[in-house]
Structure 1
């Protein structure tokens, strides 16, 4: 019997993409970028501001499923300038830890891409979360 599927479409791009999909105890988030609820870019040219906003968006989507940042088990971060990102690694990974409420114990992949959906976006964060009790996250 196939697992039940729950789809959340609440963000500024809801007409074209789901914010996340939950199947069983696993939540798959679409890539989150540095935009507000209206789809306006926050922090153009400022990687630190974009890290904060993208993680805030991750948190918002997780909350839509009744989950938290503590439920994240894997993330992929796509950046347009990996050298610039790593050059500010201590600061940016510190912001990441702040957004998680401590040093996240998760797997991570960091990938450089030529461009994201907008030339103003410097990174995109895609996550997978697991919840111990699927009923509590749905």
Structure 2
């Protein structure tokens, strides 16, 4: 999208979850043919975490068995944002997965990502282990870069 002078402008998309206003950010921003998708997580339409991890006495996840559910739901939320711009996962050029447990993510990522991208994903991918995410019960967050000039 451009203004009358031909200067690129930002187009934003949100999912209507409470933390968009509380934290103050857009879920996705499109400038020209590029969409930058903020870190997505596994929430439902109301913002409740899907597949929250049970916590130990210190408030840290003690079970990572919901990694696949959280990962798939995260991709589903990203799909909703991409569709706002008429985009698909075929146009994703890079993704970064932030996870609390790299081994748990590796154990399920291949299957989940093939359901999203097809049998041979053609996307640059980064998997980064972190010590904490936005919500204590959250196991994964995924950010995306999308190029709309790709067919």
Q: Which TM-score band (shorter chain)?
A: 0.7 to 0.9
TM superposition score normalised by structure 2: 0.80
Asked if the contact 2:14–2:81 (Cα under 8 Å) also holds between the matched residues in 1, the reply is no
In 2, the alpha carbon distance for the partners of 1:2 and 1:79 equals 37
Q: Which moved more, 1:13-22 or 1:2-11?
A: 2-11
Match of 1:49 in 2: 69
> How many aligned residue pairs are there?
131
Answer with 1 or 2: which has the greater Rg. Answer: 2
Secondary structure in 2 matching 1:31: strand
Match of 1:61 in 2: 81
CA shift in 2, pair 1:112/1:38, >3 Å: same
Please point out which of 21, 30, 34 is paired with 1:26.
Answer: 34
- Runs of 4+ displaced beyond 6 Å: none
In 2, the alpha carbon distance for the partners of 1:42 and 1:120 equals 10
| Aligned alpha-carbon RMSD (Å) | 1.8
In 2, the alpha carbon distance for the partners of 1:9 and 1:55 equals 15
1:114 and 2:120 are equivalent in the alignment: no
Asked if the contact 1:11–1:19 (Cα under 8 Å) also holds between the matched residues in 2, the reply is no
Structure 2 gaps of 5+ residues are: 1-5, 54-65
CA shift in 2, pair 1:24/1:42, >3 Å: same
Structure 1 gaps of 5+ residues are: 134-138
Map Cα deviations across residues 73-94 of structure 1 (whole Å, 9 max, x no partner).
Answer: 00000001112222x1xx3211
